A and B are shown apart, each in its own frame.
Chain A
Amino acid sequence: MFGGFGGILPLRLGGSATLGWAASQHARLAADLASASRTAPLASLTVLLAATPAVESYHGRNGSGLAFAPTAALLATGRLRLTWPNACAAELFLDGVAIRFPWTTRHVVASGHYNAAPVIATVAAISPTIIDINVYKWNGAAWALSNERISLRTFGDWLPEARIGDYDGATDKVDCNTETEPYVWLWYQEFTAMLGSAFSNAQTGIVHAKKLTLARFEAGKTRAVERARCNSVPATADDCLEQWVECLKVPTRDSDQRWQIRQRCAAKFKGAIGATQSNIDAACSALLGSGFITTIHQTGSDLDHPPLLTYWPGINPGPTQMDLGGGTWSSERAHITVVLVKPPPSQLSDFLYQSNVALFQQLDRLLPAKCGFNWTTSVQGFLLDGAAHSDGSISQLDFDGLTPS
């Protein structure tokens, strides 16, 4: 909610269209802003080559105006070198001091400006902070190096690549259902009612100031109580997230965002309830998000007609390669197949980490100690412990595929 009594950070998502900001709207903003920041230019500038080259116009992510522009030097006639500092101050602050991030140019597009004859600008060399540009002008017979005016746009890296978590986005963000009215306002109304009609109700003056002060004090306490309650479970923990990571032994990487770690903790915490079918489904879904398709459980009580791949020595002997000694014992009823979808290539590393590390540890904690795990792939996606058929069965081919060679 914005403004007035309750418009203080942290913002509580939700509320009306006029006074609030819905979680879904915030999510769209976070996703779009992260997308746009990946492709937007790093800088846009115009330079006039001369004995002392002049940057005529500069607009960069680091700032607008010549104070933020690179240093321009003429290497020779028609050869320009632009040099940025190794690091530029961002509008992000630590203790009130701007943080500096490395400036890295990756590629450039350039145009020469017409000057009685066509002008071409070509990029001769690019390094993270230095760009060399050659400028040619048609002299009537050939393209010759010449000092002319050029415009260019650079692309590259500066701040760490934006992700939704940088804007407090998360895939499980929801509207707040506790502070649907600002706590401050509710306490303020409470004090107004307590004081009665002998005191002014005007929102000015000393009575208002005292009520507001007390209301904010009480609201702070109310939020503190809610914060403590949220931290008591990993799904909504922030202050205590590191403790949950330690307690649950959840794997983390430097590149993980807090919401990913929080969701991983929440998924693992569900294991404390027990390995029920619904709990396994919920835990896998919470861990893998949109990458999770389904789990396949083998069920049925017809012992005269057991599912495929049910083997026991003497009666229904199985393949020798599955024999650990004393014959092959196997039942599909003891298998769980987790079906995942492969995401776009750009998210593949996260997905593989989730599948190979986080999911394995999750299932290891959830399922009995005798269970083992393995995975295989198919054209449909990423499968754990056997391929999914339309009837949910597991084929012999997949067991062969899973046999270590």
Chain B
Amino acid sequence: MTTPTGSPAWVRSSAFDTYGGDANKSNYQSQGVVNPRTDVGAEGFSRLVADVAALVRTAEFCSMLVQCDDVTPGPPTVLNCRLMTGVAATSYVGNAPPSGFPSVARNGNGDVSVTFAGSYSDEYGVAGTFIVKDPVANLVASSGGVSVPERVSSAVIRVRSFDLSAVAVSNAKFTLTVGSGS
């Protein structure tokens, strides 16, 4: 079983050398590629690891679409949820998330708390601490309004939705994207 170097992507600590890059990477004996149709040379490899490291540092850990239920009232429905660790195949009720996906609890009209785990594992089984960073929320509505995130803790984000008069929006629908990192 291979154990990858470094930490999972959501720790955002990887650099080019995590993926095998080196400032002085070169082909053996400083020769060019033998056959450009079959070979990957030092230059291509170096750009590859640099780009992967750059992407991993800014890629969002989570992107989700949430529909509040303020009529019943009941727990919100997560219509779509994409994590770095997997994509939910179907929507789910916020208080019964599939294993590995965040739960979403109702606090009030247009007001929910999204709770993540403190650690997630990648496909090699390597665990990495998850810390909520840089949440961005957007209200999905035909009329004006705003969804506002609040970082409650390293694993919890609270999102409230308001109309243009700062009145809570009932049955709000919003998107939330979440970064991560140390």
- Find out whether the CB atom of B13 lies under 8 angstroms from the CB atom of A64: yes
- Find out whether the CB atom of B47 lies under 8 angstroms from the CB atom of A237: no
> Measured between alpha carbons, how far is A214 from B16 in the docked complex, in Å?
32
**Hey, which chain B residues are within 8 Å of A26, CB to CB?**
40
Q: Does A45 contact B (CB under 8 A)?
A: yes
Q: Does A44 contact B (CB under 8 A)?
A: yes
- Find out whether the CB atom of A33 lies under 8 angstroms from the CB atom of B36: no
- Find out whether the CB atom of B52 lies under 8 angstroms from the CB atom of A33: yes
Closest to B131 in A: A57
- Find out whether the CB atom of B37 lies under 8 angstroms from the CB atom of A235: yes
Q: Does A11 contact B (CB under 8 A)?
A: yes
Within 8 A of A (CB), among B55-96: 55, 57-60
Additional A-B contacts beyond A91-B54, A118-B148, A167-B44 (12; CB < 8 A): A29-B48, A57-B133, A90-B54, A98-B23, A111-B135, A111-B138, A113-B150, A151-B133, A152-B136, A220-B31, A226-B34, A237-B36
On A, residues with C-beta under 8 Å from B are 8-14, 21, 23, 26, 29-30, 33, 36-37, 40-46, 57, 59-64, 90-93, 96-98, 109-115, 117-120, 138, 151-153, 158-159, 162, 165-170, 172-179, 216, 220, 223-224, 226-227, 230, 235-239, 258-259, 262
A164–chain B nearest beta-carbon distance, Å? 10
A-B contact pairs, 21 of them (CB 8 A): A9-B26, A10-B41, A40-B54, A59-B134, A91-B50, A92-B46, A92-B47, A96-B23, A98-B23, A110-B136, A111-B149, A114-B160, A138-B166, A151-B135, A168-B33, A178-B35, A220-B29, A226-B35, A227-B35, A230-B35, A238-B33
- Find out whether the CB atom of A170 lies under 8 angstroms from the CB atom of B31: no
A91 in contact with B21 given A12-B38, A37-B54, A118-B166 (CB within 8 Å): yes
B43–chain A nearest beta-carbon distance, Å? 7
Q: Which of B47, B57, B147 contacts A167 (CB 8 A)?
A: B47
> Measured between alpha carbons, how far is A97 from B158 in the docked complex, in Å?
44
**Hey, which chain B residues are within 8 Å of A64, CB to CB?**
12-13, 57, 181-182
> Measured between alpha carbons, how far is A119 from B21 in the docked complex, in Å?
43
Among B135, B166, B181, chain A packs the most CB atoms within 10 A around the CB of B166
Chain B positions 108 through 126: 1 when the CB is less than 8 Å from some CB of chain A, otherwise 0: 0000000000000000000
Closest to A45 in B: B134
- Find out whether the CB atom of A59 lies under 8 angstroms from the CB atom of B136: no
A40 in contact with B41 given A138-B166, A153-B136, A236-B35 (CB within 8 Å): no
> Measured between alpha carbons, how far is A257 from B27 in the docked complex, in Å?
20
Q: Which of A14, A44, A60, A96 contacts B38 (CB 8 A)?
A: A14
B145–chain A nearest beta-carbon distance, Å? 9
- Find out whether the CB atom of A117 lies under 8 angstroms from the CB atom of B44: no
- Find out whether the CB atom of A172 lies under 8 angstroms from the CB atom of B41: no
> Measured between alpha carbons, how far is A206 from B113 in the docked complex, in Å?
65
Q: Which of A44, A96, A114, A238 contacts B134 (CB 8 A)?
A: A44
> Measured between alpha carbons, how far is A376 from B16 in the docked complex, in Å?
48
> Measured between alpha carbons, how far is A170 from B44 in the docked complex, in Å?
11
**Hey, which chain B residues are within 8 Å of A179, CB to CB?**
34
> Measured between alpha carbons, how far is A40 from B84 in the docked complex, in Å?
13
**Hey, which chain B residues are within 8 Å of A40, CB to CB?**
54-55, 58-59
> Measured between alpha carbons, how far is A365 from B49 in the docked complex, in Å?
41
> Measured between alpha carbons, how far is A92 from B43 in the docked complex, in Å?
9
B161–chain A nearest beta-carbon distance, Å? 9
> Measured between alpha carbons, how far is A59 from B60 in the docked complex, in Å?
10
A60 in contact with B58 given A91-B15, A114-B149, A153-B136 (CB within 8 Å): yes
**Hey, which chain A residues are within 8 Å of B12, CB to CB?**
59, 64
A170 in contact with B134 given A138-B162, A224-B31 (CB within 8 Å): no
Q: Which of B38, B53, B148, B149 contacts A173 (CB 8 A)?
A: B38
**Hey, which chain B residues are within 8 Å of A42, CB to CB?**
58
**Hey, which chain B residues are within 8 Å of A224, CB to CB?**
31
- Find out whether the CB atom of A220 lies under 8 angstroms from the CB atom of B28: yes
> Measured between alpha carbons, how far is A115 from B166 in the docked complex, in Å?
13
**Hey, which chain B residues are within 8 Å of A97, CB to CB?**
23
- Find out whether the CB atom of A36 lies under 8 angstroms from the CB atom of B55: yes
A289–chain B nearest beta-carbon distance, Å? 14
**Hey, which chain A residues are within 8 Å of B166, CB to CB?**
117-118, 138
B176–chain A nearest beta-carbon distance, Å? 9
